[in-house]
Amino acid sequence: MRKAVCPGSFDPVTNGHLDIIVRASRLFDEVVVAVLINKNKANVFTVDERIELIREVVRDHPNVVVESSHGLLVDFCRARGIQAIVKGLRAVSDFDYELQMAQMNHSLAGVETLFMSTNPQYAFLSSSLVKEVATYGGDVSGLVPDIVLKQLRERLIR
């Protein structure tokens, strides 16, 4: 069985993330969305909330499962027999750090990283920007799934 992981903070999941997850699900038998816990980041949604939101938006994709992870991504991959990490690349600015992580993960555990070009429609999109725009009442519809939009409106709009 060919398995891939789509890792991230997903605070919250955006349509850009979703596009990569769904495209990866067409290439692999199973895609595990790994919600990574980064204690250094201030999050709007708890890990359980983020997982629930992602599960809701991928529910029509039976080969996508959603889990959380506290540690190294390569340990998560080893424990689940995952051969590849799939990441979206939005712009050249993403590349330096992503390449560094890909090379570190390969050197640690031989896990391959596959970069998928982000749909140009979502090239400017990030969870951080979505939260900032939503905080000031800006319109982020079309950038996040409807269920996320609803949650953001309830929590963030001042």
Q: Give the residue, chosen from 36, 84, 123, 129, that forms a contact with ligand PNS under the rule CB under 6 A.
A: 36
Q: Determine whether 90 is an active site residue.
A: yes
Least separation in angstroms between residue 158's CB and ligand PNS is 25
Q: Does 88 bind ligand PNS (CB under 6 A)?
A: no
* DSSP tag of 116: E
Q: How many residues bind ligand PNS (CB under 6 A)?
A: 9
According to DSSP, the residues that pair with 4 across neighbouring strands are 31, 84
According to DSSP, the residues that pair with 6 across neighbouring strands are 33
- Which residues are CB-neighbours of 50 under 8 A, at least 6 positions away? 9, 10, 11, 12, 13, 35, 43
Q: Determine whether 9 is an active site residue.
A: no
Q: Give the residue, chosen from 57, 73, 143, 152, that forms a contact with ligand PNS under the rule CB under 6 A.
A: 73
Cα separation, 29 vs 150, in Å, equals 32
Binding site for ligand PNS (CB under 6 A): 7-9, 36, 72-73, 101, 104-105
Active site residues: 17, 41, 90, 127
